[in-house]
Structure 1
Amino acid sequence: MILIALMLVTLLITYIITNRIAQQIIERKVTASVNTILQQVNEKMTSFDSDMQGISTFLFYSPTVQTYIKADDMLDRVLMNREVLSVFANTMSMKSNIRGIQLYDRSGKLMTRLGEGQDETTAPVQTMSYSGLVNLDDRPTEHFYIITAPIFGLDSNHIATEYRGTGRYVMDVSNLSPILRSAKVTANSRVMLLDRNDHILTSEGKVSSSDSVNVGKWKANSKFIVQSITLAPSGWKLISIIPKSELLNELGTVKRINITTYAIMFGILCMFLLIFFTRILKPIKSLMDFIKSYPKNGEDSRYQVVHKNEIGVLGQKLNNMLDDISELSDEVRSTQIRMLEIELAKKQMEISAFRNQINPHFLYNTLESIRAMAFYHDVRDIADISESLSRMFRYAVKGSNFVTIAEELAHIREYARIIDFRFRGRFKIVTRCEENLLNETMLKMLLQPLVENAVFHGLERKLGEGEVLIDIHRSADHRIHVLVQDNGYGMSESQLQEIREGFTGVQEFVSGEQGKQKGIGISNIYNRTFLFYGEAATLEVDSVLNKGTCVRISFPPYVNEGGNEHVSRVNRG
């Protein structure tokens, strides 16, 4: 019931929000449209002002008017008055809304007029200006406004010089009605043109009879969308008032649809509640009862799947999980046994190391004595062999299990010197390594046993010269690959198979003659790599009888040794 209540409240909130957003979108679109229309009206008024500027230039700077306004003799003006009034009449015929033209001298005294207007003085002006609402005494029901333009005298080059007088047009506001009508958006909207004192010059739509309009009061009313613009030539205000209710009438249909949807969703949710109880809650209770009774019933008990819906799938997955837990328990026990075997193998390695431990200082001093005696008796070969053997021993008893690849290769080169002395250049040991790998770490004493196997089991049994190739490189996945390959005697298929079968888990460490017969070199290398790298390392052996043997070792550039992680310096891109 709480879930249904939340869903219904969510639907209600969603309806309110969407309805509000729809209203805002409509208001925003209408506001943008009205603003565009008001700008167009402003352009029309600007064009009208330009027309009046042209008419004023044509009228007041005509030779007739210029001569009339310059005449100082009263008789000359009386004789020219008929001609001036004829020019006024022609000008009034150009625009029907010009209801009267008046001409004043520089002191503001009326000189002559034609049509509507009153006999009154006027103040001088410097630019064309527009008055507010004007009511003439003889026409109280009609609205007029006045356009006043300055008149300057012209010299012989037709350049305006000194101020001569003022011309006035008495304009009928009826010409502005078509312009306002084009700005009317809806049937009940209102468009008003106000003068600078907020008096209504003309309007479209239902407007109160009041002569003055409070624009701020209209804008504060939330029931209307009010926009205003000030017309540049005259300073008048164009006001658009649109009732919001008229814009949102069409949303009533959407409201009825939403209410119907709300009722339908309520019925669907009630039906869902019934289905939810019978098909979900009851099976879940059954599943919970099984989980509570499982510790008492034992590990072999399983949930009885009845329904074929999601709860049934969940019960089946629970049964599968219990099966997996049983399998994992068996694997954990086997893993514990394996860990004990590995620990035992480590102990055997330690015991083997203790058995073979000797006093390193005694051996270092003895080798140095041999080397000194060789130099004394000028036997260079014995001195070099002693030096290489001393360095190899120092490297072998080094405490760390890991060294750099450069150190391991240096150790191999010392071993190669001894082999070269022993076999008089018959065998050649070649090393290749990428430069960026020399500072990487690897397991100590990994290469020397493999090279030793290659020499004594491969090359010694072959007639003629032989070669052992050591190649170290990095693959695209940053793993380090070590290749030890010889062109010696090789192995038979049965011998190779026996060695490969030994690469399963940690083998028992052996020493002495028994170790030599079983191939302690390759088995110990496998055990050490398995102990330190685990399954992250691989060791492969390939051999062809009478052609040679190839050993490939691959390991990651890091290893966990005694809980401390050793990470090689790898450019990880």
Structure 2
Amino acid sequence: MPRLPFYKGKYKLRYEMILINTLIAVVPFLLAVSAFYFYYMDNVKKRVDESVDLLFSQVSGRLEEYFDSIDDLSRIAFFNHSLQRTYLEGANKSAYDWDQFMAMKERIYPFLHMNASVKDIHLLDLSAGMPLVRSYSTGAYALKPAMYDFLQGMDRRELASGRLIFSGAFVSNGETMNEYLAVRRVRAIEEGRSYLNEMFLGVLVLDRGRINEIAADIGLNDRSVMQIIDREGRVVTSTNEPFALHDQDAASEPLDGDVRRVNGIPYLIKTSPVSKVDWQLVLYIDQEHLYREEQFIKWAVPVLVALIIAAVVVAALGFNLKMTLPIKKITDALHRVAAGDFNARLRFTYSNEITAVQDHFNHMTSEVERLTSHLLNTQQQVYEMELEKKQFQLSGLRSQINAHFLYNTLQAIRGMAVNEERDRIHRLIERLADYFRYVTKDEEFVPLREELSFIRGYVDMVRLRYGRQISFRDRVPEELEHAPILKMTLQPMIENAIFHGLERTRERGRIFLVAEAHEGELRIRVGDNGSGMPKERLLALRHALYGGAAAAASDGSGIGLRNVQKRIQLYCGAEYGLTVKSWHNRGTVVVLKLPLRAGEYAAASRREQA
């Protein structure tokens, strides 16, 4: 015991490695087992839900077919012209006579055999309440007091809808009756004074036998029970009558997903509404039988986990006692290499599988030192080459823009000279001087307000050159006036709007410029009310901008825009640049997108030029 602190300090790393390696081995296993368990249980639930949904779908489908057949029969019988005429003849008589009853019986009787579950058909006049003023039927089945109570208590608004309403189960002397009702308020269809007036309450007395057959035909096993429950919570039918009788005394209505004990057995409850009627399908599934495989997994997993943990601890203890010292030396050497000391070397005085890495490690550090030196030299050369390439590309693009504009302007001055327009030549040369004074600035990035001032002068110069009345308006928030922007990016957009947008329109040309900040970006929209572009030409221009095409549109309208696009992407990245939208004979809008942090690129540009 006195030597315990010594061994604790001596084997501290080993204890930590044992613990860590044990966790590394056990935790993934526990996660995998847990994931498997939950995955398995989820699959069990999914299989149960899918089976139940399929079962409910089959039962609901057959019930719907049955209810549809009853609905069709009620329409055929109650809206029969002969039957309604005979009924109206009796209604016009002051007394309820036997001849009228027999005449109505003859009219009703043929419909009684159209569906085997129909036990009788009643035509009731409840307008005066009870006792009945008139009641017609075949006499095959007499309505019970509970049925009359149901008929008198029916919701008038529900009856007024004209649809067929099913009653649900009736209980007499503590037992569920085999009959239930289908009821419809019937209106007259005979032309005359009674047309569409309410005539009688049509009642079909139905036998539960067909519903019992549908429930019994689903083929449930002995451990599951299917019930059909009406709107009052009474069981219409059940595949297990003793089960149903026992469960009628339950205090609460069964809810989907509940677990309820019936006869001491826990049942999982699944429910589904029955369309056409306000009934509900309820399926009771024996939970113990459903999850019997899960019980085995619940007991097997802890035993398996305990055995694996014990095996891992024993293996980790023996393994780490042999690995600790060589690993420590290797770790120290790696730390030295990571710190930049490529002269670090391993030297072991003994040999085993771990110490065999000594020669490989020493050779690796030598190679790393050599390759690192070579890589640094190569990166420096690549950087210098890329810098020269970018400067060359930017210089070429600037020269393209300047040469393009100078050529157009000199052509205009030449035309003015021919016409001896000295004043216009004088003013145009002044504007041209301002233009080149701005262009020859060393800065690649300028404040937005300076670019706007240059654009206003450029538009004025175009007016002088061509004598055109061009309206130019700009809207720039005050906080964006100092935002940095690549010099000479807006001029090609304005030039394109004038010479390729407004030249074909007879209306007064209007150009607008709007700047706004959006999610860390500067967005500038330049639009015109010119002739726009056909779809083919717009696609060609977009391909030249985004697809890297060497040629622009056939009329040269894309040269300046393509140069601007290249400059922006060289400085700011491929995610920035121009977007073009155009509507034929309506106008064109070009959107310029730059980062609001463009000042960083400006600073980088100045460092590269230096």
Q: Max radius of gyration: which structure?
A: 1
TM-score range, shorter chain: 0.3 to 0.5
TM (norm. structure 1) is 0.47
TM (norm. structure 2) is 0.45
